[in-house]
């Protein structure tokens, strides 16, 4: 009998060596927030809003449901119900009204609050990248959450301002909870790949407005302090030793006699330009920072370290010895490349609950203190009535359970009693086996008349003919 084939390629268990270690993002908390970006109405919102929701999902990665599929029949309560089992902490809901306005609701699950924004203007990621000369493609930038930068959120001086101070603090807390906190001392630089900028516009003539500009950037760095020709050769050396070598990434040195001509810029010093990449112009940078080079260095033996320390002592170079930390520091130019999307958000309303509840602030509706007090009393009364109904429903459920259990016990006792009665009846019938039943007639007078007629037919000999006829039938 042939031996059964075992699938090894897809069913083998991963070893400890092959299991990748989790990426260290320097988060202050082990429980990272999770979010769901949903378009309410599915096909009714349109293709542009659907693409906008997809772009925002990429911004929220990796702590979001990037492959979420909405259906037209899904309602908000369906997503809220699944927030608990899936550990979702925030919901971002995109919708479009009948008048064509695009709305965004940012809700903290499962009890709120909810921020209502109207999307005044937006640009998709593909539109932003189409306008750039060298757009940044989607690579490893999305494996770590972005850095959240908020500007101008706290402008109110007291609680009597048009946008109260406590409301600004609430909005700041809601946006901060979208991403895991960052520990600057422990976070490695490789985990900082993207930036999400939320800039609040200064109110100009409209003090009731709360307008945010939503921008999403990728962080790119380049080594500075060396010539562009040398940097080009270093990149070419790495490209040659890699598996996917490309011809376009190598400098063209076919017309040069010596490598020195390429390094100094030609015979006349005017610069030898083979293509646009080898020109002498430096790229524009946003800032320059000093970082510690994380590349692996050569491990020196103990004798070598002792000899190096002795030579430093003989030379008397105390400053170098004190400042030498064993790690090379290099300058890098930091540049931000916009990834998209862009949005201009205007805050319209703030609610206490999950898309329903008491309105804490409204841009267009202003109430007096008396109206606010009456509204709070009305909400408290409604809340007490709701709790009373829930309590009554719970009591009814418990009462019905007890009645059902009691009825089951009664039915079980009745079944036992009926079995005892049948046993007693059988016992009585057995006791009456010796009784003469000839004098008993269960059919009454009609039975007596039939017996008398049969007796007369038997005496006259008519019963035998009747028996023969019955036998023929």
Most confident of 124-128, 182-186, 462-466: 124-128
Q: Does residue 5 form part of some domain?
A: no
Give 433 or 140, the one with higher predicted confidence. 140
Rounded mean pLDDT of the chain?
A: 76
Q: Are residues 418 and 464 in the same domain?
A: no
Question: Does residue 117 contact residue 104 with C-beta atoms inside 8 Å?
Answer: yes
Q: Are residues 310 and 256 in the same domain?
A: yes
User: What's the rounded mean pLDDT across residues 457-465?
Assistant: 66
Per-residue pLDDT at 431 exceeds 80: no
pLDDT tens digits, one per residue of 116-156: 999 999 999 999 999 988 888 767 889 999 999 999 888 77
Q: Are residues 192 and 64 in the same domain?
A: yes
Q: Does residue 12 form part of some domain?
A: no
Domain with 443 in it = 439-472
Q: Are residues 174 and 210 in the same domain?
A: yes
- The pLDDT assigned to 286 comes to 66
Q: Are residues 167 and 71 in the same domain?
A: yes
pLDDT > 70: what percent of the chain?
Answer: 68
Q: Does residue 390 form part of some domain?
A: no
pLDDT tens digits, one per residue of 64-100: 988 888 888 888 888 988 898 999 999 999 999 888 8
Q: Does residue 422 form part of some domain?
A: yes
Cα 230 from Cα 242, distance rounded (Å): 19
* pLDDT band (50, 70, 90) for residue 43: low
Q: Does residue 11 form part of some domain?
A: no
Q: Are residues 132 and 247 in the same domain?
A: no
The number of domains in the chain is 4
Ramachandran category for residue 373: left, alpha or beta (phi over 0 → left; psi -120 to 50 → alpha): alpha
Number of Cβ atoms within 10 Å of the Cβ of 53: 21
Q: Are residues 150 and 172 in the same domain?
A: yes
Cα 217 from Cα 339, distance rounded (Å): 5
β-strand pairing of 287-292 with 194-200: unpaired
| Cis check: omega of the bond before 113, within 30 degrees of 0 | yes
Number of Cβ atoms within 10 Å of the Cβ of 56: 22
Q: Which CATH number fits the domain that encloses residue 105?
A: 3.40.50.10480
Q: Are residues 304 and 212 in the same domain?
A: no
Terminal Cα distance for the chain, rounded:
70
Give burial (CB, 10 Å; 0-12/13-18/19+) of 95.
middle
Q: Are residues 210 and 357 in the same domain?
A: yes
Question: Does residue 123 contact residue 341 with C-beta atoms inside 8 Å?
Answer: yes
Q: Are residues 299 and 284 in the same domain?
A: yes
Q: Does residue 394 form part of some domain?
A: no
Comparing 272-286, 385-399, 455-469, the range with the smallest average pLDDT is 272-286
- The pLDDT assigned to 450 comes to 65
* pLDDT band (50, 70, 90) for residue 400: very high
Most confident of 298-312, 407-421, 430-444: 298-312
Per-residue pLDDT at 18 exceeds 50: no
Per-residue pLDDT at 28 exceeds 50: no
Question: Does residue 261 contact residue 251 with C-beta atoms inside 8 Å?
Answer: no
Helix (H, G, I), strand (E, B) or coil at 108: strand
pLDDT tens digits, one per residue of 194-227: 999 999 987 776 667 889 999 999 998 877 777 7
Q: Does residue 377 form part of some domain?
A: no
* pLDDT band (50, 70, 90) for residue 20: very low
Q: Does residue 387 form part of some domain?
A: no
pLDDT tens digits, one per residue of 262-297: 777 644 444 444 444 334 445 566 677 666 665 555
Number of H helices, E strands in the chain: 11, 11
* pLDDT band (50, 70, 90) for residue 60: very high
Per-residue pLDDT at 165 exceeds 70: yes
Per-residue pLDDT at 21 exceeds 80: no
- The pLDDT assigned to 27 comes to 46
Q: Are residues 351 and 315 in the same domain?
A: no
Q: Are residues 197 and 67 in the same domain?
A: yes
pLDDT > 90: what percent of the chain?
Answer: 24
User: What's the rounded mean pLDDT across residues 441-447?
Assistant: 48
Most confident of 143-152, 363-372, 446-455: 143-152
């Amino acid at each position: 009998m042939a031996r059964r084939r075992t699938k090894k390629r897809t069913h083998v268990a991963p070893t400890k060596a092959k299991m990748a270690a989790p990426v260290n993002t320097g988060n202050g908390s082990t429980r990272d927030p999770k979010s769901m970006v949903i378009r309410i109405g599915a096909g009714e919102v349109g293709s542009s809003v659907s693409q906008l929701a997809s772009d925002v999902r990429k911004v929220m990665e990796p702590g979001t449901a990037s492959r979420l599929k909405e259906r037209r029949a899904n309602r908000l309560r369906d997503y809220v119900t699944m927030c608990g089992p899936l550990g979702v902490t925030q919901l971002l809901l995109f919708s479009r009204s009948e008048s064509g306005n695009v709305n965004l609701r940012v809700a903290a699950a499962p009890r709120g609050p909810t921020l209502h924004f109207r999307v005044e203007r937006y640009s998709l990621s593909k539109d932003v990248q189409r306008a750039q000369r060298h757009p940044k493609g989607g690579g490893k930038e999305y494996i770590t959450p972005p850095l959240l930068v908020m500007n101008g959120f706290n402008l109110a001086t007291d609680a009597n301002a048009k946008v109260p101070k406590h409301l600004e603090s609430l909005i700041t807390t809601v946006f901060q909870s979208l991403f895991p906190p960052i520990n600057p001392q422990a976070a490695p630089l490789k985990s900082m790949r993207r930036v999400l900028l939320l800039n609040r516009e200064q109110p100009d003539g409209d003090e009731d407005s709360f307008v945010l500009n939503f921008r999403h950037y990728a962080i790119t760095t380049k080594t500075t302090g060396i010539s562009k020709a040398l940097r080009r050769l270093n990149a070419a050396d790495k490209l040659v030793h890699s598996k996917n070598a490309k011809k376009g990434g190598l400098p063209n040195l076919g017309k040069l006699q010596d490598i020195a001509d390429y390094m100094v810029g030609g015979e006349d010093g005017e610069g030898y330009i083979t293509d646009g990449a080898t020109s002498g112009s430096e790229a524009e940078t946003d800032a320059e920072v000093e970082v510690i080079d994380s590349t692996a260095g050569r491990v020196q033996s103990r004798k070598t370290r002792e000899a190096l320390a002795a030579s430093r002592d003989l030379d008397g170079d105390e400053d170098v010895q004190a400042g030498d930390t064993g790690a090379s520091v290099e300058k890098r130019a930091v540049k931000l490349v916009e990834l998209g999307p862009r949005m201009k958000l205007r805050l319209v309303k703030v609610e206490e609950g999950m898309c329903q509840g008491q309105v804490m602030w409204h841009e267009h509706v202003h109430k007096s203190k008396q109206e606010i007090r009456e509204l709070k009393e009305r909400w408290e009364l409604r809340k007490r009535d709701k709790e009373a109904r829930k309590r009554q429903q719970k009591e009814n459920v418990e009462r019905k359970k007890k009645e059902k259990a009691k009825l089951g016990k009664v039915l079980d006792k009745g079944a036992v009693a009926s079995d005892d009665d049948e046993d007693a009846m059988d016992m009585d019938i057995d006791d009456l086996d010796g009784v003469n039943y000839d004098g008993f007639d269960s059919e009454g007078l009609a039975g007596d008349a039939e017996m008398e007629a049969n007796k007369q037919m038997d005496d006259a000999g008519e019963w035998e003919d009747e028996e023969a006829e019955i036998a023929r039938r």
